[in-house]
A and B are shown apart, each in its own frame.
Chain A
Amino acid sequence: ETGVTQSPTHLIKTRGQQVTLRCSSQSGHNTVSWYQQALGQGPQFIFQYYREEENGRGNFPPRFSGLQFPNYSSELNVNALELDDSALYLCASSSRDGSEAFFGQGTRLTVV
């Protein structure tokens, strides 16, 4: 167990809806990163938060947004869901130097 927990574990949404995914980071870690992993692909970086501020973003549209809270937990919000958003969404927490990322078990999102 990594100490990183994500909720929910599975989710089914309809195209056009909005979704919020949650992640609690490992104790002592102040950096949280979110990744999208399509079937058979490697994790694709969405964005990273450090001390409640976004400090890195991958090639994802603005409808992907996030938050980090004072306790370093985090949320990923996706608006106007599209079928291609169906994927495993992974949260990873790390210390500031990012020497090792601890992944949660992921949220499997299916958009129909």
Chain B
Amino acid sequence: GQQVMQIPQYQHVQEGEDFTTYCNSSTTLSNIQWYKQRPGGHPVFLIQLVKSGEVKKQKRLTFQFGEAKKNSSLHITATQTTDVGTYFCAGRGTSGYSTLTFGKGTMLLVSP
């Protein structure tokens, strides 16, 4: 079955430093979504990428979808303490009504 892997599992940065999390799928994806989960909370949708090589930006967040549609990354520029949480990628397969497969997430801790 489809597997989605994320690295790193955990990252601790100082406020103002950059942060990147990487996501790799064992199979080609139709699209990939990113979610953020604050401690004690539930996943909140950030963005969806659909096209090969797509790059999208949301303020300090930059999302990329690989050319082969099997990998993705999320980059945060100049982290803030409000960025604390776990970032998940979730890939959707290409067959029929494929469902979302989540990675294990990258937990980000930002120290002031």
Q: Measuring CB to CB, which residues of chain A are less than 8 angstroms from any residue of chain B?
A: 2, 33, 35, 40-45, 48, 50, 55-56, 58-59, 90, 92, 98-106
Contact = CB atoms under 8 A, between A and B. Distances in A.
Nearest to A106: B42
Which 7 pairs from chain A and chain B are nearest by CB?
A42-B102, A103-B42, A56-B99, A42-B104, A43-B102, A100-B45, A103-B43
Contact of A33 (B44, B100, B105): B100
B: contact size bracket: 20 to 34
Nearest to B4: A42
B99 A33 contact: yes
B8 to A, nearest CB: 14
B88 interface: yes
B112 interface: no
A40 B42 CA distance: 13
Contacts of B44: 2, 103
B104 A41 contact: yes
Q: Which of the listed residues B6, B31, B35, B99 has the most CB atoms from chain A within 10 Å of its own CB? A: B99
Contacts, number: 55
A101 B103 CA distance: 15
A105 B41 contact: yes
Interface in B71-112: 88, 90, 92, 97-105
B48 interface: yes
B41 A44 contact: no
A55 B43 contact: no
Nearest to B46: A100
A59 B3 CA distance: 12
A48 B102 contact: no
Contacts of A44: 102
Given A42-B88, A43-B88, A43-B102, A50 B48 contact: no
Contact of B100 (A40, A55, A101): A101
A58 B90 CA distance: 14
A45 B99 contact: yes
A98 B97 CA distance: 9
